[in-house]
Structure 1
Amino acid sequence: MSHNSPEVFIGIDIGSVSTNTVVVTLDKEILEEHYTRTKGQPLETARDVLADVLSRYPIEIIRVVAATGTGGKTIAPLIGAYFTNEVIAQSKAVEYFHPDVRTVIEMGGEDAKLILLAPDDTAVRSQESGVRSKKIRVEDFAMNSVCAAGTGSFLDQQATRLGLTIEQFGELALKSKNPPRVAGRCSVFAKSDMIHLQQAATPDYDIVAGLCYAVARNFKSTIGRGKTFLKPVAFQGGVAANPGVRKAFRDVLELNDDEFIIPERFTSMGALGAVFTAMEKTNKMPSHVSGFKGLKELEEYIASGRKKGKGIDPLSRPENHPSQKKDKSDYWGQIILSPLEKVNVYLGIDIGSVSTNVILIDEHSKLIARRYLSTAGRPIEAVRQGLKEIGEECGDKVNVIGAGTTGSGRYLIGDFVGADCIRNEITAQATAAAHIDPTVDTIFEIGGQDSKYIALKDSVVVDFEMNKVCAAGTGSFLEEQAERIGIKIREEFSNLALSCAGPASMGERCTVFIESDMIHHQQKGAGKDELVAGL
C-alpha cells in the first residue's frame, strides 16, 4: 500500500504497558492509529511498529516523528524524534479535540495523571477569520509517584486473579447494585480485601465493581489531593475503555454525561498530542528538512543493550533439586492403591488465595493422591473440582476417616467439607516439615500472597514472621510480572532466569519499587531473561 501524501507526521507514545502510534497529515487527518502491547519490550515494540509504518510510508515523506511516554525520552535521540512531556502531549490533544475541557484524567498501564486546564489568554487571533483560537494552558497537574494502585496494570492483575479478561471485568462491574468497599490507597491492601471477599463467597460482579470504585476514590483522594475537578472532565488513556471505571468516576465525581467526556481516540491522545506539538514547532522549517534518522541507531542500541551482560551474579540451580529429576515418584513418595482392599485415608486441604491443594495420605503418612488447582477467586469450586478428580482417581478403594483444612480459606472450606480439624498455616507447615525431618529448624514458605519464616526447636514452633500485607516476594507478584512481559510462569520463567548471565539489579523491599526498576531496565533495553533473573 503506497501513499501519495506530500508529507506525513508520526506520533508514538511508548508506555510501560502499551505503545500507541498515529500517522497524521498536515491537516491533522488521522491516517493510521495503532495500539500495541509492549510485553516487557518497549524499545523492540517501538522499533517493530515504526518498521511496519515505514513499510507503507517512504522515509522521504516523513516530515516529523514525535515521541512521548516513559520510553519516549530514550528513543527520541536515537531516531531523531521530537520528545514531548506526557502532560503537554495529553493537553495538546485535548486542546485540539475538546478545547472546552477543564480537567483531564489520564490512566495508563502504570501511570495516572490529573491535568487542570485553563483558557490561554495569550492565544492569537486567526489571520483568516479574526476569531481568537481556543488555546488552553496547563494550570496545574499531579501524577502518581511510584504506586501502581488505580492504574491499568493493577486492574489487569485483578482481572487475571478472577479468571476474567479486562473486557469482561469492565462489563461485569455494571451488574453490581451494591459494590463493597475495597481499599484503594494501595494495590496490596486492595488484593487483601479481594481475598477476604472471595473467601466470603461475594459475587464476582460486586468485587470488580468495588475495585472500580476504589480506583476512582483513590485517584480523587491521592492524586486530586483536594483539587477542584472543574467541568467538563475528560477521561483518557487505556483505562478509559473500562465501562466499570467510567461509571465509578461519574458517580464519585458526581458528573452527568455532558460533563464527562471520553475522547474518541482516548488511547492515542498522548501520541496525537506529541505529534501536534511537534508540528507547531516545525511549521516554520523548510518542508524538505526532517530530523527523522530512521531506525538504524535504535537497532544498534537494542543490540548493544543485549551484549552488555552487566548486572548481579547469575543464578544457579541447586544440585539434586526435585525439578531436575525426570522421575518424581521417589520424591513425592506416592503409593499405588491395591484393587483388593480399601485403604483408610486422611484428607488434607490447603486453600490459598492463589492455589488450592488437596491430598490424601494413608495411616502411615504415605501420599495416596494429590491435586494442585488454581483458586481463581472461587475456593468452593476449586475444592469441589479437586475432590472430584481425586474421587475419580481413587474410586472406592479408599475410606476417608478424617479431614483437615488450612490456608486463608480454611474456615469456609472446613465448614464445607465437615473438617475434623482446622489449623493455621504456621502450625500446618511446621507439623509437616517436622514430620518429614525432625531435625528441621528453619522453614521458608512462599505462596501466592503470603511468605513465612518459621523457626523450630525440637519440632516445636519457637518463632515465626509473615508478610503483613505486602506481596513483594510472593508467587502472585512473580506471576503478574511474568504475564506483563509475556512469558509463562511455569518452566519458561525459571528456564529464562537460570540461563541469564547478568540479571538486572532491582529493589528488594516493595513490589512498587521493584516494578519501577523493571520499567527502567525495560526502557534501557534489558532482555526478558535479565528481568526475570533479576526478579
Structure 2
Amino acid sequence: MLYVGLDVGSGTAKVAVLNEKREILFSTYVRTHGQPIETAERVLSQVEERFGNSLSGITCTGTAGKTISQILGVAFVNEVMAHAKAATFFHPEAKTIIDIGGEDSKLIFITHERGVPEIEEFALNTLCAAGTGSFLEQQAARLGYTIEEFSQKALLARNIPRIAGRCTVFAKSDMIHLQQAAVPDEEIIAGLCFAIIRNLKSNLAKGKPILPPLVFQGGVAANLGVRRAIKEIFQLKEEELIIPEHFKIMGAIGAALYGLEGKASSPYVGAQVLRDYLKERAYNPPRHPVLFPYESAELSRQVRKKIEDRVTKTYRIDEEMEIYLGVDVGSVSTKLVALDRDGSLVAKVYMFHHGKPLESIKKGLLELRKKLPERVKVKGVGTTGSGRYLVGDFIGADVVRNEITAQAYGALYLDPEVDTIFEIGGQDSKYIYLDKGTIADFTMNKACAAGTGSFLQEQGVKLGIPIEKFGEIALQSKAPLKM
C-alpha cells in the first residue's frame, strides 16, 4: 500500500509517497510558476511512471491543493494540520513549529496535556509577503546573489542592522539607505533575515512565549541566516532548534500520514483526471472593457518624436564640447545623461545597480564616456534620486535636487505647457501637478510596492516571464482581467 501526499501552495508543489511503515519512498519539490494545476499534473505523472498501479490513495493540502482535491474528488486536509502532523511524527517532543514558505508563514503551538502532541493554537501571516521566502528571494536577486549565496553571506555578519520587516517597501527603503551608507552586503542580508523573524514574533506570536524544542520547516528553513535569527531572537540553544531532514516537503508528508491513518483518506486518482480537466477547462473571469486603439497614443508618438528631434543632435568626433552631467540613482537603477550648453541630449546610459550604487556610477560613467566625443569639458554635475547625496559626494556634484523637483524641471524643459506628471520607478511612484510651471501639488506611494516597477518584476519572476517581454505579452490581451 503506497500513499501519496500532494501539497500545492502559492509558489511550489510538493509530493511525498509513503508506504504502510510510514517510510518515504519518493519525494519532489518544484515551482509552479503560476500554473498549480499543470504542475500537479506533471508531478503526479512522474509518481505514476515510477510506481504504476501500486498507488492506493491520495490526500491533498495547500492553498491550491484544495482546488486540486475538488477536481480530483479526493480528500483534503488543512495545511496547518498537515504541517503539524509531519513535524510531530518526526519530532513528537516539539512544542513550537515555524513554517515559512514562499508566500506565507505559520506559527503553530503544540500541547502535550493529553500525552500526545496536539495543536493548541496557531497563527498565519496576513496577505502581505513580508516575512516569507519570496521576500528573501526578491532581495537576493536585487543584491545580485543566488538564494544559496544569500544564505551563506548572512553568517559572515558581525553587526546586524535593524531593518523593517513589517512591509517589503519599508525593508527595501532601509536596504537602500544602508547601501548608500556603504554597509557591507553580509550585514544587510543578516538584517533582512532577522527582520522576517522579528516580524513573525510581533505579528504571529503577539507576546505568546515561544517554547523549545522548536521545529523550523518550509523552504526558508534552508536559509542559514534565518536559522541564526531564530536561535538568537528566541534565545534557543543549539539542540533546541530542530530542522527536519525533509523540511521542504513536510506538508506533503503530513497529508500522506493523515491518509494512512484513515482520518482524511481517499482512493488514488491521478494525472489523467487533471489532464482531462485542463483540456475542457473554460474559465470566464470578470474583465475590463475590451481594449481599442485611442487617439492619444498617436498624439503621444508625435509629441515624443518632436521632442527627440529637438533635444537630440549629432556631433563631430574631433569637436571639443562643453557638457553638463545629470545623474539619477534610484532604488533599482542608475541613469546618466550628458547635455550640451543648449540642453540637447548628447549621450545617455541606463542600468540596474543591484544594490551597489557606487559601482554602477563607475561603470555608468565609463559607458557614458564611450558615447561622447574625444574632447569634452564637464562644466557642471547634478544628482537626484534616493542616492543623490551619496553619489553627489562621490562625484563632486555642483547641484543636488530631490526627485520631485528634478522630474518636474525635466518635464517642463521638454514641454513648457505640461501640467500633470506620472512617474513610476522601481520602488516608488509619483504624481506631480504643475500650475503655470510651478509645483502646486504632489504625492508618492508610501507603504506598498504594488503599482511600482519592482512589483511587476517580481510577478514576472513568479510567472517565468522576463520583464523585457512583460509589456509586450500584456498588450496581446483583448480585455484585461479585473484584479
TM-score interval, normalised by the smaller of the two chains: over 0.9
| 2:314 corresponding residue in structure 1 | 336
Aligned-partner SS, 1:226: coil
Q: Distance in 1 between matches of 2:293 and 2:182?
A: 40
Alignment CA distance shift 1:103-1:388 (3 Å): same
For residues 375 and 323 of structure 1, what CA distance do their matches in structure 2 show? 30
Counterpart contact for 2:321–2:373, Cα < 8 Å: no
The corresponding residue for 1:42 is 36
Matched, 1:503 2:480: yes
Query: Which residue pairs with 2:235 in the alignment?
Result: 254
- Please state if 1:433 is matched with 2:411: yes
Q: Does 1:363 align with 2:341?
A: yes
> Are residues 1:388 and 2:366 paired?
yes
What code does the residue aligned with 1:312 have?
A: H
Change (3 A) 1:309 1:228: closer
2:202 is aligned to 221
* Matched-pair contact (CA < 8 Å) for 1:332–1:367: no
Count of aligned positions: 480
Give the match's secondary structure for 2:50. Answer: coil
Residues in 2 aligned to 1:100 and 1:416: alpha-carbon distance in whole angstroms: 56
What RMSD in Å do the two structures reach over aligned CA positions?
A: 2.3
When residues 155 and 322 of structure 1 are mapped into structure 2, their CA distance, relative to the original with a 3 A threshold, is farther
Q: Deviations over 1:509-530 (max 9, x none)?
A: xxxxxxxxxxxxxxxxxxxxxx
What's the CA shift for 1:313? 3.0
Whether 2:235 is the aligned partner of 1:235: answer no
DSSP 3-state at the match of 1:220:
helix
Corresponding position: 1:88 with 2:81: yes
User: TM-score, normalising length from structure 1?
Assistant: 0.85
Of 399, 404, 422, the match for 2:377:
399
1:75 equivalent among 68, 72, 76 = 68
**Residues 402 and 43 of structure 1, relative CA distance in 2, 3 Å threshold:** same
Query: Can you give the 5+ residue segments of structure 2 that lack an aligned partner in the other structure?
Result: none
Partner residue in 1 for 2:289: 313
Whether 1:267 aligns to 2:267 is no
Aligned pair 1:293/2:274, yes or no?
no
* Residues 120 and 281 (structure 1), Cα distance of their counterparts in 2 relative to 1, 3 Å cut: farther
Question: What amino acid maps onto 1:264 in structure 2?
Answer: E
Deviations 1:350-390 (Å, cap 9, x if unpaired)?
00001110011111221111110102111111111110111
Q: Where do residues 445-524 of structure 1 align in structure 2 (5 Å cutoff)? A: 445-490=423-468, 492-506=469-483
Cα offset, 1:262, TM superposition: 0.2
**2:50 corresponding residue in structure 1:** 56
Aligned match of 1:98 in 87, 91, 102? 91
| SS of match in other structure, 2:461 | helix
Per the alignment, in what secondary structure is the counterpart of residue 230 of structure 1? coil
Q: Deviations over 1:228-283 (max 9, x none)?
A: 21210000000100000000000000001111100000011100000000111179
Counterpart selection for 2:394 from 408, 416, 419: 416
1:514 match: none
- Note closer, same or farther for the CA distance 1:427–1:69 as it changes in structure 2 (3 Å cut): same
Identity of paired residues, percent? 48
Task: Pick from 173, 179, 185 the counterpart of residue 198 of structure 1.
Answer: 179
Is contact 2:168–2:448 with CA below 8 Å preserved after alignment?
A: no
User: Shift of the alpha carbon at 1:87?
Assistant: 1.1
Between the aligned partners of 1:77 and 1:447, the Cα distance in structure 2 is 41
Kindly state the Cα deviation for residue 145 of structure 1 after the two structures are TM-superposed: 2.1
- Alignment match, 1:8: 2
Farther-moved stretch of structure 1 (304-313 vs 338-347): 304-313
Question: Secondary structure of the equivalent of 1:55?
Answer: helix
Structure 1: distance between partners of 2:241 and 2:293: 54
Cα displacement (A) at 1:395: 5.1
Distance 2:302 2:190 in 1: 44
CA contact (8 A) 1:238 1:266 kept: yes
Code of the aligned partner of 2:407: Q
Structure 1 unmatched runs, 5+: 1-6, 124-134, 507-535
Matches of 2:392 and 2:382 in 1, distance apart?
Answer: 7
For 1:72 and 1:254, how far apart are their aligned partners in 2?
35
Indicate if the aligned counterparts of 1:79 and 1:292 stay in contact, CA closer than 8 A: no
Q: Aligned residue for 1:132?
A: none
The structure-2 alpha-carbon separation of the partners of 1:409 and 1:282, relative to structure 1 and needing over 3 Å to count, comes to: closer
Task: Tell me, yes or no, if structure 1 residue 245 matches structure 2 residue 238.
Answer: no
Measured after TM superposition, the shift of residue 191 of structure 1 is 1.4
CA drift of 1:339 comes to: 2.1
1:295 deviation in Å?
A: 3.0
Provide the rounded CA distance (Å) in 1 between the counterparts of 2:411 and 2:435: 12
Aligned-partner residue type, residue 433 of structure 2:
A
Structure 2 letter corresponding to 1:73: K
Tell whether 2:164 aligns with 1:171: no
| 1:319-341 Cα deviation digits (max 9, x unpaired) | 3488999x999569533320231
Is the CA contact 2:318–2:373 (under 8 Å) kept in the aligned structure 1?
no
Amino acid at match of 1:71: A
Deviation at 1:154, TM superposition (A): 0.9
Question: In the superposition, relative to structure 1, how do residues 503 and 295 fare at CA in structure 2: closer, same or farther (>3 Å)?
Answer: farther
Letter of the 2:247 partner, please give it. Answer: F
One-letter code of the match for 2:471? S
Residue 31 of structure 1 is matched in structure 2 by 25
Q: Distance in 1 between matches of 2:301 and 2:49?
A: 46
**1:398-449 deviations in Å (ceiling 9; x for gaps):** 2211111110011111111111111111111111111111111111111111
Q: Against the structure 1 CA distance between its residues 298 and 443, is the aligned structure 2 distance closer, same or farther, given a 3 Å change threshold?
A: same
Q: 1:442 aligns with which of 420, 423, 448?
A: 420
- Answer with 379-388 or 460-469: which moved more: 460-469
CA contact (8 A) 2:154 2:186 kept: yes
Determine the structure 2 residue equivalent to 1:146.
127
